[in-house]
A and B are shown apart, each in its own frame.
Chain A
Amino acid sequence: MIPIAHAGHWVVNLLYLAPVVLIVAMLAVSAHRDKRAEAAERAADGQAPGSTADETSGKPAR
């Protein structure tokens, strides 16, 4: 029942999807790293000496 015997047919088809999957994965990883870097930057700004952070909420004052 499991189509292993005919795997050659659809595995070859899936190979055409590989470039798309690879590029999407690269973009997703890059986007994730960017978000983490931005969050870290924001956190560093908030804890810097002499920063104008709001004492009650911990958020940077506007």
Chain B
Amino acid sequence: MTRRLLAAAPLAAALLVLAPEAALAHGLVGREDLPIPKVVFAYAATAVLVASFVALAVLWPRPRLEGQTERRVASVPRILDPLCGAIGVAILGLLVYAGFAGSQTTTNNITPTFVFVIFWVGLAVASALLGDVFKAFNPWRAIARGFAFVATRLSRRELPAAMPYPAALGRWPAFAGILAFVWLELVYSGRGDPSNLAVLILAYAAVQLVGMSLYGIEPWSRNGDAFGVYFGLFARISPLHWKRGEVRRRTPLAGLTTLDATPGTVAVVCAMIGSTSFDGFSAGATWGDLAPRMTESLRNLGFSQSAGLEITFTIGLVVLVAVITGCFRLGVRGMRDATNIELTNDQLSLRFAHTLVPIALAYLVAHYFSLLAYQGQALGYLVSDPLGTGANVFGTATATIDYTWVSATAIWYVQVGALLAGHVAGLVLAHDRALITFKDGPTATRSQYWMLVVMISFTSLGLWLLSSAN
């Protein structure tokens, strides 16, 4: 079967690219002024994925990413960690203060732009490039470490040991935190209200401090802190690893192979992909038809317009996360059936959970690149006037957003490129993991047929969402 599929794959891929162009020659040319219909990009992406799959089967016979050693690049001054922590706490303080004391107009206040654009999107991209920078700036980790330092000095003895982090709890608290954040971002009608955000920032910080005091600062940050887990996962893509006072270099993606198979990890990554998918889906025509009908039905049941909308969007969000999870689980089940391996679906899912992380990044870049490229510029005037009160601290308060620096066509190519790169990276990671999970090369390749289907499904879904939202 392997040989037949490998032989047929390039032919099928070529047909996929050539066939639809004729059918849609007069069809879809968007505002982006593209030379070919958008759907052809999906077929071309499929061709690239199939070709990558074949190339991996032929040219990648041994694991190359698993078990790699890191090389030390430089040492990091000890002062840097507390310094970055202090900066993180200062930014947290500014956001909370601006949320309460500043203008309540979303675009005039630094808090919404910082939280939804710079933090959620910009820091994720920075983590994938530079490593786990959030860990250094994590304000609640810095506060907890500061408290522990002061308490140890005052009491002149070791603090009581924290409880061991329950293995069964895994990354489920992080999953809950990520779902709560994306619900806030995509569903909650008061998300643009700076004072609401300030309250929620304080509530989240309180939960983190309780978690850290119970289970220890590092175990909680690694498993329970939604943002620690979120940025930590993206940081594993990076070629840089900041650890124990030094910076180490490694092959990009290699950090993902050391991701521990902790319960809840699959749910976290699927929530990341599913929520971004829903954001794209909710901007499309299909949701535009469906959502008003659902909201109207809820209004007929006695809900207010606002509550009806929130319930409708909550259902959409949950369904998209479930669809992504279901796709991945189906791929894993196909892998198990194709190889008769003596592992449960859950065990196999956890073993391959890391392959979804580049896809989560690809979805994030594809869906939010334009947001970061345009709305990210707002930081230029917001740093000078964070409260929206007419201040001009750094002299940049009159700066504006330049909507011409990147064209719609360029954005589309960045989106397609990100999706493609993310899914090829996912295939590479899955192939590499299959080589150490299954006994021989042919079995490993056979195991990945269904993962290839998962990757093609996610790519097609991503491009469909982008094309219908644009």
Question: Could you list which residues of chain A lie within 8 angstroms of chain B, going by C-beta atoms?
Answer: 9, 12-13, 15-20, 22-24, 26-27, 30-31, 33-34
Interface hits, B1-49 → A, CB 8 Å = 1, 4-5, 8, 12, 16, 20, 24, 27-28, 39, 42-43, 46
- CB–CB A22/B16 < 8 A: yes
- CB–CB B27/A12 < 8 A: yes
Instruction: Please measure, in the bound complex, the distance between the C-alpha atom of A20 and the C-alpha atom of B461, giving whole angstroms.
Output: 10
| Inter-chain pairs besides A12-B27, A17-B460, A22-B16, 15 sampled, C-beta below 8 Å | A9-B285, A15-B24, A15-B39, A16-B42, A16-B461, A16-B464, A16-B467, A19-B42, A19-B460, A23-B12, A24-B453, A27-B5, A30-B1, A30-B5, A34-B1
Instruction: Please measure, in the bound complex, the distance between the C-alpha atom of A17 and the C-alpha atom of B39, giving whole angstroms.
Output: 10
- Taking the complex as formed, is B443 at the interface, i.e. its CB lies under 8 A from any CB of chain A? no
Interface string of B431-452 (1 = CB under 8 A from A): 0000000000000000001101
- CB–CB A26/B8 < 8 A: yes
Q: Return A11 CB to nearest CB of chain B, in Å.
A: 10
Instruction: Please measure, in the bound complex, the distance between the C-alpha atom of A13 and the C-alpha atom of B461, giving whole angstroms.
Output: 10
Q: Return A50 CB to nearest CB of chain B, in Å.
A: 30
- CB–CB B453/A23 < 8 A: yes
Instruction: Please measure, in the bound complex, the distance between the C-alpha atom of A20 and the C-alpha atom of B24, giving whole angstroms.
Output: 19
Q: Return A58 CB to nearest CB of chain B, in Å.
A: 25
The verdict on A30 contacting B4 (CB below 8 Å), with A9-B285, A15-B20, A18-B43 known, is yes
- Taking the complex as formed, is B456 at the interface, i.e. its CB lies under 8 A from any CB of chain A? yes
In the complex, what residues of A have CB within 8 A of residue B468's CB?
Answer: 13
- CB–CB B449/A19 < 8 A: no
- Taking the complex as formed, is B286 at the interface, i.e. its CB lies under 8 A from any CB of chain A? yes
Question: Could you list which residues of chain B lie within 8 angstroms of chain A, going by C-beta atoms?
Answer: 1, 4-5, 8, 12, 16, 20, 24, 27-28, 39, 42-43, 46, 50, 285-286, 338, 449-450, 452-453, 456-457, 460-461, 463-464, 467-468
The verdict on A23 contacting B46 (CB below 8 Å), with A15-B24, A18-B16, A34-B1 known, is yes
In the complex, what residues of B have CB within 8 A of residue A22's CB?
Answer: 12, 16
Q: Return the contact of B1 from the options A16, A24, A31 (Cβ within 8 A).
A: A31
- CB–CB B453/A20 < 8 A: yes
Instruction: Please measure, in the bound complex, the distance between the C-alpha atom of A27 and the C-alpha atom of B449, giving whole angstroms.
Output: 8
- CB–CB B5/A26 < 8 A: yes
In the complex, what residues of B have CB within 8 A of residue A26's CB?
Answer: 5, 8, 12
11 A-B pairs in the complex with CB atoms less than 8 angstroms apart:
A9-B285, A12-B28, A13-B464, A15-B42, A16-B460, A16-B463, A17-B460, A23-B12, A23-B452, A27-B449, A34-B1
Scoring A16, A18, A30 by chain B CB atoms within 10 A of each residue's CB, the highest score goes to A16
- CB–CB A19/B5 < 8 A: no
In the complex, what residues of A have CB within 8 A of residue B467's CB?
Answer: 16
Q: Return B400 CB to nearest CB of chain A, in Å.
A: 37
Instruction: Please measure, in the bound complex, the distance between the C-alpha atom of A52 and the C-alpha atom of B12, giving whole angstroms.
Output: 44
Q: Return A34 CB to nearest CB of chain B, in Å.
A: 5
Closest to A9 in B: B285
Q: Return B21 CB to nearest CB of chain A, in Å.
A: 11
In the complex, what residues of A have CB within 8 A of residue B12's CB?
Answer: 22-23, 26
In the complex, what residues of B have CB within 8 A of residue A23's CB?
Answer: 12, 46, 50, 452-453, 456
The verdict on A12 contacting B1 (CB below 8 Å), with A19-B16, A19-B456, A19-B460 known, is no
- CB–CB B8/A12 < 8 A: no
- CB–CB A20/B456 < 8 A: yes
Closest to B286 in A: A13
In the complex, what residues of B have CB within 8 A of residue A9's CB?
Answer: 285
Q: Return the contact of B450 from the options A15, A16, A17, A27 (Cβ within 8 A).
A: A27
Instruction: Please measure, in the bound complex, the distance between the C-alpha atom of A23 and the C-alpha atom of B460, giving whole angstroms.
Output: 12
